[in-house]
Amino acid sequence: MIETHLHTDILEIVLQNPPVNALGSDLRGALFGVIAAAQTNPDVKAIVLRGAGKLFSGGADIKEFGKLQAEQGLPELVDTIEASAKPVVAAIHGTALGGGLEIALGCHYRIATADARLGLPEVTLGILPGAGGTQRLPRLIGVEAALEMIVLGNPVSATRALETGLVDRLSENQSSLASDAIDFARTLNGPRRTSELSASAPAGVFEQFQATNARKIGKLDAPRACIEAVKAATELPIKEGLAKERDLFVKLLGGDQSKALRHVFFAERAAAKIDGLPKDIQLRPIGRVGVIGAGTMGGGISMNFLSAGIPVTIVEMQQDALDRGVATMRKNYDATAAKGRLTGEQVEQALGLLDPTLDFDALADCDLVIEAVYENMDVKKDIFSRLDTIAKPGAMLASNTSYLSIDEIAAVTRRPQDVLGLHFFSPANVMKLVEVVRGEKTAPDVLATGMALARKIGKVPVVSGVCYGFIGNRMLIPRQEQATALVLEGATPEDVDRVHTEFGMPMGPFQMADLAGVDIGWHRDPERIESLRDALCAQKRWGQKTGAGFYDYDERRKPSSSPVVAEIIEDFRQKEGIVPRTISDEEIITRTLYTMVNEGAKILDEAIAQRASDIDVIWNYGYGWPRHKGGPMFWAELVGLAHIVDALEQSRAQLGEAFTLSPLLKRCAAEGISFDEGARQ
């Protein structure tokens, strides 16, 4: 867990707990021991504390949270280090995060490599720095800088840390760090304790910070508690401030928001793992990517690769479509540059890697080709059979289809093992999610390469099996069906959307339909009106793009309730003989969100998703499910699967003939087990 070296009069303690030197109970125990021993060792004049491997420390061991030992130990350890009679220097490289930085704050001096990053990201886990961070950091660097780090959770660079006084000096790199720290320690006369400083707050600083960050703070408990704790640092003596911090920490730790956010942390990392693949699988080299189609999706997809420095050949059928596509990409890049997120030079560099062409044969050079044309199986089959004759051996062939069968597409090639789905979400240059679709015959190295490449371009990839709509969009289907049925039965589109936005979704089903296009998948016959959607489409209410959908839109796309839609709904009710009734918010939750959970359970049962938490990651990154509610599957377990089954059973009459409860959901509810436990049985 730790290694110690005595360099004449300086004791060097090296944390050794790969992969991130998490401060679990064993490591803490070892540190208590060695710090105590150093106090009575006459040979030791000062102590240097550093981390082995890639970083100083990633903080408390999050896996221990909720267990008793996590609630004790780290704060006491930081106090013990600070109380040391011999000066202690933290020598930081890589990152010092959370409890890692709090340990460093307990040290009397800090030295960091120039490329190190220091942060207190606890707020992103729904907690606050619980080992003195909220009390020591404002004392050391001032309230305003501390609020930025603690409440927003953003790490700072070593240079910024030097400016604010968080570190005392810099060392060039990891190789010079240990010896610089030892030399520095030798110059020190005694300890210098941060807790002995005082923190004062300029008038109105907390109110102003809260107001400036109101949107980010929203309904979250942790940022509020962080502010309260920092305020305590300015009002209370250290001991009482630490007690206040502890109180707030324990409350947050037991709350649902923190449970959900910690779930999301591990869910994201679990999603990167593919069941049944050897860890050391050889990836296929991807030097150039081909993209077929320069529309919104094709352009957005290309930008991801260009931004990551990977050349792209983009193919279109017509020159004007190609020109339009390239112009849109440039416009998007310029907009990013105007916001200061890219330099003009970076924009030119990215676009310099783009090779637009009408020549399909140019794809022969590419190691991966992604088809991004419209959703039509015949068109896709045609493209893939042409690709099969052109693409070089070993090239990966991907479709960006949102719904269609990758197996059917792969079957037209002589190399189905090289075919996979790469389902990007719109706008593809912004949205982080990619469903990496594993066809029946997709080779393991193709899947692994798809996942790795998606991560390389900054995406969050999740594996999905083949089914209509894959994981995310398949779950949208019952939600949309029920949302529409609810409107016919008596709710308004506004009611349904409000319940979703109050829940924390960025938009509700009808707002989403208006944004995506109400006409997507419409049969295009204005005379054939079989659904509410048909009625809207027949009147060219195709959503935001036509200025009218389920809502009316003004020139600035600001929505308002539509009397026309209310009339269309009323006509429909009359035609169907439906007498509208009052629909409660609870019923909207049951019939839209619980039905989605039910679909998720079916997806898990069919092994389309590898694990329940993968479904959660898809909803976090693809559809804006609020992270502090974990994801639909985690949330369902929190609400109680038995309660969900009961509510769905009770709504059975409204849910209609076609509705079936997932056997997995029923079993898990009956046995009181989690989705994953149920799926493993």
Question: Candidates 14-22, 332-340, 438-446, 556-564 — which segment interacts with ligand CAA by CB under 6 A?
Answer: 14-22
530 tagged catalytic = no
Chain position carrying tokens 């961070």: 133
How remote is the C-alpha of 538 from its chain's centroid?
Answer: 38
Cα gap 660→218, rounded to integer Å: 37
The count of chain residues that interact with ligand CAA, using the rule CB under 6 A, is 24
Cα gap 63→235, rounded to integer Å: 33
Cα gap 661→670, rounded to integer Å: 13
Catalytic-labelled residue, pool 12, 64, 82, 102 = 102
Contacting residue, 2, 28, 50, 58, with ligand CAA by CB under 6 A: 58
User: Contact between 252 and ligand CAA (CB under 6 A)?
Assistant: no
Cα gap 487→58, rounded to integer Å: 49
Q: Print the SS3 string covering 1-35.
A: CEEEEEECCEEEEEECCCCCCCCCHHHHHHHHHHH
CA angle 4, 22, 48 (to 5 degrees): 30
Of residues 258-297, those binding ligand CAA (CB under 6 A): 266, 269
Question: Candidates 56-64, 82-90, 159-167, 213-221 — which segment interacts with ligand CAA by CB under 6 A?
Answer: 56-64
Contacting residue, 88, 97, 315, 537, with ligand CAA by CB under 6 A: 97
CB of 119 to ligand CAA, least distance (A): 8
Binding mask 77-96 for ligand CAA (x = CB under 6 A): ------------------x-
CB of 319 to ligand CAA, least distance (A): 44
12 tagged catalytic = no
Q: Determine the residue type at 275.
A: D
Catalytic-labelled residue, pool 12, 122, 245, 637 = 122
The nearer residue to ligand CAA, 143 or 229, going by C-beta atoms, is 229
CB of 98 to ligand CAA, least distance (A): 2
Phi, psi of 157 (to 5 degrees): -75, 165
Of residues 172-191, those binding ligand CAA (CB under 6 A): none
Binding mask 448-487 for ligand CAA (x = CB under 6 A): ----------------------------------------
Query: Is the distance from CB of 625 to CB of 586 less than 8 angstroms?
Result: no
Here the tokens at position 406 are 């990758």
User: Contact between 99 and ligand CAA (CB under 6 A)?
Assistant: yes
The nearer residue to ligand CAA, 26 or 440, going by C-beta atoms, is 26
Helices (H) and strands (E) in the chain, counts: 32, 19
Query: Is the distance from CB of 243 to CB of 135 less than 8 angstroms?
Result: no
Cα gap 76→331, rounded to integer Å: 55
Here the tokens at position 423 are 């389902």
Which residues, in sequence order, are CB contacts of 381 under 8 Å at separation 6+?
408, 409, 412
The nearer residue to ligand CAA, 392 or 455, going by C-beta atoms, is 455
Chain position carrying tokens 């005379």: 527
User: Contact between 63 and ligand CAA (CB under 6 A)?
Assistant: yes
The nearer residue to ligand CAA, 23 or 597, going by C-beta atoms, is 23
User: Contact between 98 and ligand CAA (CB under 6 A)?
Assistant: yes
Q: How many residues in total does the chain contain? A: 681
Which amino acids are annotated catalytic? 102, 122
Using CB under 6 A as the criterion, which residues of the chain lie in contact with ligand CAA when the complex forms?
A: 19-20, 22, 58-63, 74, 95, 97-99, 102, 121-122, 125, 129-131, 133, 266, 269
